[in-house]
A and B are shown apart, each in its own frame.
Chain A
Amino acid sequence: MAAISMRLPVARKPVGPSAPRGGEKHLVAPGDTITTDTGYMRGHGTYVEDEKLIASVAGAVERVNKLICVRALKTRYNGEVGDIVVGRITEVQQKRWKVETNSRLDSVLLLSSMNLPGGELRRRSAEDELAMRDYLQEGDLISAEVQSIFSDGAVSLHTRSLKYGKLGQGVLVQVSPSLVKRQKTHFHDLPCGASVILGNNGFIWIYPTPEQKDEEAGGFTTSVEPVPLSDREVITRLRNCIVALATQQLMLFDTSILYCYEASLPHRIKDIIKPEVMEEIVLETRQRLLHLEG
């Protein structure tokens, strides 16, 4: 039965500030004066004009001893060594791939930083270079770790572990990078029946939990078997929950996603993205998280 819902738009309600933990955050907009004290060193996101320290981005002020910097809330991904990212291949070049990771420059995945199928460790030859397209093509999704950062800010990735590599069937959700919390591990097998990779660059990959845990090929062959319906429903519900959390600007980590999933169970999957239902679910998640903390 066709279900078409049309509505009149309602003005977005300003999200009320949640209980401040550890003091108020000093929020600034571009052009706001942070301080007139000249004793401070200026960090990222600030500049000096007429002996005043002025913010150049919109975000929260962070002070470490004498260094003041402004961390922007809505920004492209700034790579840091050790981050897990999910990226999409945009180009295949000589001895390397260009990967799109929602940063200012395309990231680079060198052929020598990539695992060969079979897990062999050998010098990359000319045949490997010619066969690059067989491993990864334009449009493929990969999970990788940041190895180093070039001087211009471009990020160099590596997939030197069996848990990284090409991603198979699943759903990609794009959120702002500042919403993904930094944690010890970003690969989660959620108890509700699906797995999720929370990339630090804001790309979140939801996929069905693989049965066998041993990865012989390092993830190069995509399984063509259709995903069962029950898993699909879990994945779709998770996707809508993550979109709801991102719209309401809540930090994304495994516990918040799980609580949101549980709060959304009484509703139908397609209702989760409706504004009223979204607010209700996220409010419940927020309360449970606050309860967990204190």
Chain B
Amino acid sequence: MASKKKSEGEKLYIVHGVQEDLRVKKKSCEDYRCAEVETDVVSNKKKTARVKLGHTDILVGVKAEMGTPKLEKPEKKKLEFFVDCSANATPEFEGRGGEELGSEIASTLNNVFSSEGTVDLKSLCINPREHCWVLYVDVLLLQCGGNLFDAISIAVKAALFNTRIPKVRVLEDEEGSKEIELSDDPYDCIRLNVDNVPCIVTLSKIGYRHVVDATLQEQACCLASLLISVTSKGTFTSMKKVGKGSLDPESIFEMMETAKKVGKSLHVALQKVLDEEESLGTSRQKVGFLG
């Protein structure tokens, strides 16, 4: 990720600050920067969500298409993720520069959503073994300001909350061939249950303590971090370690406890904002990108 080299003095200052629980923007080690969430920013068939966490800007769009399920899971079909690192974020992403980061993020998201029960996949099934809904989730990185994974997972949850899949009926005629009929009413649709959709919490080890929501400067001082995906009930769905430093098993346990606590409050805050946005309905003033 784009990171300018920092001077010794700056790194020392940040590390000592974290020891004393006073980070550069005066957050404690468990505070997130103020996040802005907005859904339905792009007027398209896609259901979109945009999240701004400090300087990090993510746009997620979800599209539902019909497809055939995998052979080994005849009643289910998983989500497909695609991540595009836009050159807007940093000149290093120009051309194919952002591909490596994009595929890393996509594989992490696949891991997070691979466990059973994250998304209610049975509701996506139309016809067992023949037809089902496939959800294509596209993530666009507009600006990198540290803590990408957390912001992306928040945006994915917000976009899935906003997704509406039209109701279909399967008609069978005499020869046995099946026809799929879409209902005429555009508002007749089913919504996904996002109660169990996990959010990623990134914990970075700086000095002897770990911090949540590291900025770019803090990331430059951190040798190892842990990406843990937590559901709203506090269950972990995946865990991944990044960075060239090593982590002690004791500190891993501590980080897991922090992740559980922080993850639960993250889900509560996000759900509150999404409910508030929905209750405003059409009277909400759309801010979008030019606000």
- Chain A contacts to B: CB under 8 angstroms: 1-12, 88, 138-141, 166-172, 222, 224, 226-227, 229, 232-233, 236-237, 239-240, 268-270, 273-274
Contact = CB atoms under 8 A, between A and B. Distances in A.
A169 B7 CA distance: 9
B266 A222 contact: no
Contacts of A274: 34
B16 A226 contact: yes
- Complex A-B, nearest 8 residue pairs according to Cβ-Cβ distance, in ascending order: A139-B5, A269-B26, A226-B16, A2-B30, A168-B9, A11-B291, A9-B36, A169-B13
Nearest to B158: A6
Contact of B9 (A138, A222, A232): A222
Contact of A2 (B6, B262, B291): B262
A167 to B, nearest CB: 6
B7 A3 contact: no
Contacts of B265: 2, 4
Given A232-B22, A236-B26, A169 B10 contact: yes
B8 A8 contact: no
B269 A4 contact: yes
Q: How large is the interface on B (under 10, 10 to 19, 20 to 34, 35 or more residues)?
A: 35 or more
A7 B273 contact: yes
Given A169-B13, A232-B20, A270-B31, A6 B26 contact: no
A158 B52 CA distance: 40
Given A139-B4, A139-B7, A232-B17, 6 more contacts: A2-B261, A6-B37, A8-B277, A10-B285, A88-B5, A168-B9
B27 A270 contact: yes
A88 B220 CA distance: 15
A40 to B, nearest CB: 35
Main secondary structure of the interface of B (DSSP, over half): mixed
A117 B265 CA distance: 53
Given A226-B16, A270-B31, A9 B24 contact: no
A237 B26 CA distance: 8
A4 B31 contact: yes
Contacts of A224: 12
Contact of B6 (A6, A9, A139, A232): A139
Contacts of B17: 232
A6 B38 contact: no
B7 A229 contact: no
B24 A8 contact: no
27 contacts: A1-B30, A2-B30, A2-B32, A3-B27, A4-B31, A4-B32, A5-B32, A5-B34, A6-B34, A7-B37, A7-B273, A8-B37, A8-B277, A9-B52, A10-B285, A10-B291, A138-B5, A139-B6, A139-B7, A169-B12, A226-B19, A226-B20, A233-B26, A239-B25, A240-B25, A270-B25, A274-B34
Contacts of A12: 291
B8 A2 contact: no
B25 A9 contact: no
Nearest to A270: B26
